[in-house]
Structure 1
Amino acid sequence: MEYSQTAKEIYDAIGGKENLSAAAHCATRLRLVLNDETKVDQKKLDEMDIVKGTFSTGGQYQIILGAGIVNQVYNELSKLSGMGEMSTKEVSQAGTKKMNPIQRFVKMLSDIFVPIIPAIVAGGLLMGLNNLLTAEDLFVDGMSLVAANPQLADLASLINTFANAAFVFLPILIGFSATKRFGGNPFLGATLGMLMVHPDLLNGYSYGDAVTSGNIPVWNLFGYEIAKIGYQGTVLPVLVASYILAKLEVNIRKITPSALDNLLTPLLSIFITGLLTFTLVGPITRTAGNLLSDGLIWLYDTTGFIGSAVFGLAYAPIVITGMHHSFIAVETQLLADLVKSGGSFIFPVAAMSNVAQGAATLAVLMIVRDAKTKGVASAAGISALLGITEPALFGVNLKLRYPFIGAIVGSAVASGYIAIFHVKSVALGAAGLPGIISIKPGTIIHYVIGMLISCVVAFIVTVVLGKRAAKKDAK
């Protein structure tokens, strides 16, 4: 009866059946697509003890209830609305229809890269572990752990091989995920990725030296030369090629007799896409990808701590819009070419923003008296310090406003500091306290100092603004 009553209160607060278009739930949240979010009785939801927070993103209105509770409330909500059980994918598709073109583009990137993040994170963290073993002056003065303990050399070599795999064969992962997202056969996408990193091709990492020396291998087709160059560690070429493959496959299947479909569709799709990839798509998008990476590196190096501080200030607002998902593609490219980029500057800034949100949320514990807010803030603050900011951001800081201001100020100051010392990550991971292992050796101490600065500034600014807000309310 308790969950039935809770579901009824939520159902009424969101506007009832007339306003509910689709509904599903994940581990902790109700994920709803509403016809008009302005009809939501936000005050009523905020006053419910069971509701830990609400936010709107990706065309969905999400209500945080917690694990073990959300599924019970969802079952009762389904009975009230008369809707059958829906998957989060179905709700996500319904929410996409409400997005503008930019939001749809960002969601597309998110749909492609989020599934492969575990592989990239695993490889990246292994790379970070290898760097801990091989970096000089990190643990032993004047030498690395491997140099001081030669018996660790093969272990470091083994870890390095494991770490590089996800980046060397990145086009296979992206080809599978992207082709699936674009409506094609994901296994054909993986095959396309394999073509782009085939051992018979010139290794993509050696492309620059080959251009300089003029020694680029080619296929000679009827007098037309096609460069035999691989695309190891690239992102943009395989994204575009996967889109072409998916659309080509769908259209070829429409005109191919069903008896020959299994033979001709895969053959023609791979052959035509492969030919286009090595003649047009690959060379053009490789250049575009290099220009994008070079431009970001130039912008970071040119603007220095000022640009980094502005980025730190804006990072949390970007998270609110969901646009931060587009950074995954950029970071993947930067990490895939560490020699040129030196690592990703985005990850450390994200970490500064996350711990600032956590510190600001914990500062709320000193200011507010409401038991529900205190309960949410304590758990959400710790979660944000570990890299998961949604509960803190949407459940506490945005509602009260002054902690959000304190957090972005702390993030800006800390992001400016780490830029001075060129703190970059060599891997993806949890952007927070556990992110230390992902940071480039030699700058770890400045990463730690940056987090301390972020937490202290965010905490102090939040307390000052909170007490000022309390005085205004008292008047």
Structure 2
Amino acid sequence: MNYQEIAKEILASIGDKENISAAAHCSTRLRLVLEDESKVDQQALDQMDAVKGTFSTGGQFQIILGAGIVNEVYKELTKLTGISEMSTSDVKSASSKKLNPLQRFVKMLSDIFVPIIPAIVAGGLLMGINNVLTAQDLFIDGKSLVDANPGLTDLAALINTFANAAFVFLPILIGFSATKRFGGNPYLGVALGMLMVHPDLLNGYNYGAATLSGDVPVWKIFGFEIEKVGYQGTVLPVLVASFILAQLETYIRKITPSALDNLLTPLLSIFITGILTFTLVGPLTRSAGNLLTDGLVWLYDSTGFIGGAIFGLIYAPIVITGMHHSFIAVETQLLADIAKTGGSFIFPIAAMSNIAQGAATLAVLLLTKDQKVKGVASAAGISALLGITEPAMFGVNLKLRYPFIGAIIGSAAGSLFISMLKVKAIALGAAGLPGIISIKPGSIIAYVISMAVAFVVAFVVTIFLAKRDAVKTANGVNGKAA
């Protein structure tokens, strides 16, 4: 490939170098922040063999080129534009200036929770392994693997301890990530998180029972009583407390003489934030978090398969807006409080959407005569089945329209089944075929059946819509939007 020529063509198609305010790349895509996206010549980009697809999200215009190619094209692009090489975080920072307040809020949640997802995924998957060892009737009638093999008891207990760690000490993870995102010292955020799960406090999971029995311990200070209760497995309290900590630290640092900064700033920041956390912020946000979780569980249980089908239908459009990143915070709380919630119902529905997007893309692969579309659809369809839908959704389905319609209908059908069968996830992971390992052991067969429903419906509806359009057009399905 002539990478310099590709870079020149891309540059001409996006309005030349004057239209680029920031540029970076990930493993497969150019990630550009453009001054005016209306200047993009979409038709010219679509006709380029090297371009596998394009889409705009979160203030970034992204061009899919593929692994290996994107690195070389980016090098040539920086030479042509004179823009110094930037990281994806630099581009995210530049693109955030173009977002509205709601988009900024969603991006903030994404910035906080995406870095801690690996720890949550690891804990959840270990929980799944523990469930496989301890679930009754999964492999042996009337027994679990531990019951049948007592030698596995301590192994299961060890795995369970490893699995719970990320959720028991969740405020520490969030404290670091959130305080860093809000502009404070992340290690003060860690200290705040540790304070909220200190072993001298009543374990937050036992707070409900202690309240009913009247055994909640308190500090008695100057005639006031402050509950000595921890915040294990909570999300909202530490988010708000981290924001207060970061703002307070910044303010104190401004007014403190530099000679006393290292002494007074961390001391006052932690002490004042800690007092506010246990007197006001913690109790209020704990109640708000419980109401939110209870409300979501009630909504899911009350609306049943109808609500599940509607959620499945709109999940992909939500992804287009980027709003799906806000679900990470909700899922984290659902998983942290798994004893009450039973797990996350969002993850299985997301998986149905991804499977349906992949199925619709593979239907296009079967039907289209355009070799470029075939090349994109083959890789993108498989990628979507494995949980990565951007290439399929933006590179094929949205551009042709009818596959996207087929995909959301398939997603609704799969989500209807998975909601009716009450399938929930006990971990985050790749929402697609690999998501099997994130599902509660007793629901794995139901998950597989629902995936099959989503795939078949999306595939068949996409073919039906393509044939219908073929009747209306002389050229039939040729890789262009009907």
**TM-score computed with the length of structure 2 as normaliser:** 0.97
* Structure 1 equivalent of residue 447 of structure 2: 447
* Structure 1 equivalent of residue 145 of structure 2: 145
Secondary structure in 1 matching 2:290: helix
1:307 aligns with 2:303: no
Structural mapping, 1:60-209, within 5 Å: 60-209=60-209
* Structure 1 equivalent of residue 373 of structure 2: 373
Structural mapping, 1:195-274, within 5 Å: 195-274=195-274
The AA in structure 2 aligned to 1:82 is: G
Secondary structure in 2 matching 1:443: helix
The AA in structure 2 aligned to 1:123 is: G
The AA in structure 1 aligned to 2:64 is: I
- Between the aligned partners of 1:361 and 1:203, the Cα distance in structure 2 is 49
* Structure 2 equivalent of residue 336 of structure 1: 336
Report the Cα offset of residue 470 of structure 1: 2.5
* Structure 2 equivalent of residue 465 of structure 1: 465
- Between the aligned partners of 1:353 and 1:87, the Cα distance in structure 2 is 30
The AA in structure 2 aligned to 1:421 is: L
Secondary structure in 2 matching 1:458: helix
Report the Cα offset of residue 27 of structure 1: 1.4
Report the Cα offset of residue 17 of structure 1: 2.1
Q: 1:150-202: CA deviations, max 9, x gaps?
A: 11111111110000000000000000000000000000001100000000000
Report the Cα offset of residue 471 of structure 1: 2.8
* Structure 1 equivalent of residue 478 of structure 2: none
Secondary structure in 1 matching 2:302: helix
Q: 1:402-439: CA deviations, max 9, x gaps?
A: 11111110110111111111111111111111111111
Contact 1:343 1:426 in 2 (8 A): yes
* Structure 2 equivalent of residue 437 of structure 1: 437
* Structure 2 equivalent of residue 298 of structure 1: 298
Report the Cα offset of residue 20 of structure 1: 1.2
1:410 aligns with 2:410: yes
The AA in structure 2 aligned to 1:40 is: V
- Between the aligned partners of 2:468 and 2:37, the Cα distance in structure 1 is 32
Report the Cα offset of residue 71 of structure 1: 1.5
Secondary structure in 2 matching 1:63: strand
Report the Cα offset of residue 19 of structure 1: 1.4
- Between the aligned partners of 1:248 and 1:30, the Cα distance in structure 2 is 38
Secondary structure in 2 matching 1:463: helix
Q: 1:329-366: CA deviations, max 9, x gaps?
A: 00000000111111110000001111111111111111
Report the Cα offset of residue 83 of structure 1: 1.4
Q: 1:348-400: CA deviations, max 9, x gaps?
A: 00011111111111111111011111111111111111111111111111111
Structural mapping, 1:378-393, within 5 Å: 378-393=378-393
Report the Cα offset of residue 143 of structure 1: 1.2
* Structure 1 equivalent of residue 480 of structure 2: none
* Structure 2 equivalent of residue 275 of structure 1: 275
1:347 aligns with 2:347: yes
* Structure 1 equivalent of residue 479 of structure 2: none
The AA in structure 2 aligned to 1:255 is: I
* Structure 2 equivalent of residue 9 of structure 1: 9
Secondary structure in 2 matching 1:142: coil
- Between the aligned partners of 1:97 and 1:285, the Cα distance in structure 2 is 29
Listed as ranges, the gaps of 5+ residues in structure 1 are none
Listed as ranges, the gaps of 5+ residues in structure 2 are 476-482
- Between the aligned partners of 1:449 and 1:99, the Cα distance in structure 2 is 40
- Between the aligned partners of 1:454 and 1:355, the Cα distance in structure 2 is 7
The AA in structure 1 aligned to 2:15 is: G
- Between the aligned partners of 1:380 and 1:256, the Cα distance in structure 2 is 55
Report the Cα offset of residue 240 of structure 1: 0.2
- Between the aligned partners of 1:383 and 1:172, the Cα distance in structure 2 is 34
CA RMSD of aligned residues (A): 0.9
Structural mapping, 1:350-361, within 5 Å: 350-361=350-361
The AA in structure 2 aligned to 1:180 is: K
Contact 1:361 1:397 in 2 (8 A): yes
- Between the aligned partners of 1:163 and 1:203, the Cα distance in structure 2 is 17
The AA in structure 1 aligned to 2:346 is: I
- Between the aligned partners of 2:23 and 2:429, the Cα distance in structure 1 is 31
The AA in structure 2 aligned to 1:81 is: T
The AA in structure 2 aligned to 1:136 is: Q
The AA in structure 2 aligned to 1:399 is: K
Contact 1:357 1:397 in 2 (8 A): yes
Secondary structure in 2 matching 1:474: coil
Report the Cα offset of residue 442 of structure 1: 1.7
- Between the aligned partners of 1:77 and 1:386, the Cα distance in structure 2 is 31
Secondary structure in 2 matching 1:442: helix
Contact 1:367 1:467 in 2 (8 A): no
- Between the aligned partners of 1:82 and 1:471, the Cα distance in structure 2 is 50
Secondary structure in 2 matching 1:49: coil
Report the Cα offset of residue 74 of structure 1: 1.0
- Between the aligned partners of 2:80 and 2:473, the Cα distance in structure 1 is 39
- Between the aligned partners of 2:93 and 2:18, the Cα distance in structure 1 is 19
- Between the aligned partners of 1:11 and 1:298, the Cα distance in structure 2 is 51
- Between the aligned partners of 1:429 and 1:29, the Cα distance in structure 2 is 22
- Between the aligned partners of 2:370 and 2:189, the Cα distance in structure 1 is 53
Secondary structure in 1 matching 2:226: strand
- Between the aligned partners of 2:274 and 2:359, the Cα distance in structure 1 is 51
- Between the aligned partners of 2:451 and 2:467, the Cα distance in structure 1 is 24
**Moved segments of 4+, more than 6 Å:** none
Q: 1:226-272: CA deviations, max 9, x gaps?
A: 00000000000000000000010011000111111111100000000
The AA in structure 2 aligned to 1:263 is: L
- Between the aligned partners of 2:163 and 2:351, the Cα distance in structure 1 is 22
The AA in structure 2 aligned to 1:148 is: A
Moved more, 101-110 or 20-29: 20-29
The AA in structure 2 aligned to 1:87 is: S
- Between the aligned partners of 1:27 and 1:209, the Cα distance in structure 2 is 49
Report the Cα offset of residue 472 of structure 1: 2.2
The AA in structure 1 aligned to 2:61 is: Y
Report the Cα offset of residue 289 of structure 1: 0.2
- Between the aligned partners of 1:410 and 1:68, the Cα distance in structure 2 is 33
- Between the aligned partners of 1:433 and 1:5, the Cα distance in structure 2 is 38
